[in-house]
Amino acid sequence: MGANYDIRQRARLADSGGLLTFIWNNRYKFILWLILTIGMIVLWIKATALMAGVFMMVFQLVYVMLFMIVQFGALFMFLGRGRVYWVQPGETGVTFDDYRGNDQVLEVARRIVMLLRGVRDFKQMGGDYTRGLLLEGPPGTGKSYLAQAIATEAGLPFAYASAPGFQNMFMGVGNLRVMMLYGKARKLSRKHGGAIIFIDEIDAIGMARSAQTGGGMMMGGMMGMGGMGLLNELLLQMDPPNFDNGWTARIMRRLGLKKERAVPPPVLTIGATNLASALDQALLRPGRFDRRIHVDFPDFDGRKDIIQYYLAKVRHEEMPLARMGNDTIGYTPVAIKFVINEAVIHAHFEGRDAITYEDFSRAREAHEWGVREPIRSMSLDEKRRLAYHEAGHAVAQVKLLPRHRLSKVTIIRHGSALGLSAVKPLEERHTQTREEALAWIQTGLASRAAEELFLGTRMSGGYGDLTDCTMLAYQMLTMWGADGSLFSYGPWGMGQLDPETKTRIEQVLEQEFKKAKALLAKYAGGMHEIAEGLVEHGELDGDDVIDILAKHDELIASGRGPRILPQYALASAGGIAGGVRALLAADEDESEDGAGESANGKSWNGEDTRESANGANGER
């Protein structure tokens, strides 16, 4: 350790030109120190007893004053440092080649880097460099990662700061931290030609100032939370007036040796937030955050690019990238990285040295649904209840959601769910039609239909399904105008549910429930086979369920579909399942027409019920 320190000390002396050069560069300080030292020695030798006493008293007073100044100065310097991590150029190693999934955002970042590299040439054209860049978007989309890549590509020092780290219990310390951060950034900028400050979660100190929150923010400032004073200091430092920062430049200007306009060194401030709408308007104006980039979830091509990037870092067998891209709709780059790493862990504990798509699927399921936690003490009767409940969902999903692929049906507990039936989109979609929403309602109510048809009861597990279906029907009728009305409750939110709206929602739910019931009665044989498979194996792959229903499609088409249910399924049916045999015995067309009719022959939107039901089924 001592040898390394001596080598570094010699290197610094060599860079500075040696000891004599160091003394010459600091000659005025050295002469002042020498005069004071000699004077104190002379006074100490020639002084009388009285003079010595006075001198000692003065010395003690000066010592106490200096001790207090140094103590408080050190305290505020320590508190004012904050949690800021300075990263030198190239230290992180993150480049634009490592940022995947959003080419448009990357192109904007490349242009910013080009401007930072050529600030001098750009200013000669009469332009000004970009002072601020605001990155907004959901968590995990790569905002911090992009900022690191910008710093590496620009070859500039990079400061990573968390906005809550500026807050302190002492008033004014937060302002001091901001001043010290930007002071060091300007110092490094003069050395490297620029510097970058990245402030994460900037909404913690950049919230909008208003009459409603002003008092609270001022009280926060008095109690040390920063408040408006901290925001005002940030506003000043991001767009300061033109002034000289160094002492040398100030002395030269005081002596009249420097008269040209002061040019502040370029400092780029990058802020990241999930709540850009909550930021103060003075912070968002041009001159501070000149550019705003919305970093959103990657699209299909972006997800494939991210998956390829992370798969290249691990051993893997041939993987269906297109299917994996659809499996990860709504995933952030961080989530994709996590799932692939979990797949590696799963393959390792399985004793394999390369991951497969099955490992990826198992890791994805654990990420989405939670860890598998089988309830080994669950009775056969409860397993059968769960099996028919989830089988109802599965049949409806396969038959009513053509743009989705059934992924898995399970009655093994995952997280808080005792069972589930999951689908994945075949393609990324951003809109939803009325018919698609009604299909989702049928899919949600299919579990209750299965309980009534095959178990003769109603279970508590339908609570979540009923809630989701009711919410979707409410949005259709009161916000989307799906019933033909042009009035929307959107400006007022949900509010109080009036009796008329409740009646309309119940009509929609009842109509779709009848359709779901007719569908499950038609595929009673498939329901029985899926439920038995779930009871026996605990879970079924989506392809297995599709094969089962395809086999029963052939039986129904040939007229050999089941006409009665297993006896154990009807053992406790009572009055609820009394109409099952009639539904099974009815012809297919009559069953569909009867399921779509309401008491007065009209549907919830005023159209003929049979035409609406047939049209919806035909479109699906």
DSSP SS3 for 410: strand
3-state SS of the chain: helix, strand, coil percent to 5? Answer: 60, 10, 30
Residue 486: count other Cβ atoms within 10 Å of its Cβ.
5
Whole-angstrom CA distances from 324 to 98, 315, 340 are 20, 17, 11
DSSP SS3 for 60: helix
pLDDT < 70 stretches in the chain? 1-19, 44, 46-52, 74-82, 119-124, 126-127, 169, 211-227, 244-246, 494-496, 561-620
Residue 599 has a pLDDT of 36
245, 188 in Cβ contact below 8 A? no
Half-sphere exposure of 532 (CA within 13 A, CB side): 10
Which residue, chain included where needed, has tokens 């930072």?
116
Closest CA to 339 of 357, 363, 314: 363
> What CATH number matches the domain at 300-369, 3.40.50.2300, 3.40.1350.10, 3.40.50.150, 1.10.8.60?
1.10.8.60
Residue 7 has a pLDDT of 44
**Cβ contacts of 370 within 8 Å, gap of 6 or more:** 414, 415, 416, 417
DSSP state letters, 330-359: T--HHHHHHHHHHHHHHHHHTT-SSB-HHH
Handedness of CA 239, 242, 247, 248 (dihedral sign): positive
Residue 528 has a pLDDT of 92
Provide the 8-state DSSP code for 266: P
Chain centroid to CA 405: how far?
26
Give the integer Cα–Cα distance in Å for 521 and 514: 11
Residue 222 has a pLDDT of 41
The percentage of residues in the chain with a pLDDT greater than 90, rounded to a whole number, is 34
Residue 120 has a pLDDT of 58
> What CATH number matches the domain at 380-619, 1.20.1050.10, 1.20.810.10, 2.30.29.30, 1.20.58.760?
1.20.58.760
Chain centroid to CA 501: how far?
35
**How much is the pTM?**
0.71
Mean pLDDT, the chain, whole residue set: 80
Q: Which helix (H) or strand (E) holds 172?
A: none
CATH 3.40.50.300 given to domain 84-246+261-294:
yes
Residue 75 has a pLDDT of 67
Residue 159, strand partner residues? 86, 197
Check if 592 is active-site: no
Parse the chain into domains and list their residue ranges.
Answer: 17-81, 84-246+261-294, 300-369, 380-619
216, 287 in Cβ contact below 8 A? no
- Please report, to the nearest 10 degrees, the dihedral formed by the alpha carbons of residues 261, 262, 268, 271 taken in order: -100
DSSP SS3 for 404: strand
Which member of 233, 390, 436, 592 is catalytic?
A: 390
Q: Radius of gyration of the chain from Cα atoms?
A: 36
Q: pLDDT tens across 512-564, in order? A: 999 999 999 999 999 999 999 999 999 999 999 999 999 999 888 887 766 54
Q: pLDDT tens across 234-276, in order? A: 998 888 887 766 677 777 777 777 777 777 888 899 999 988 8
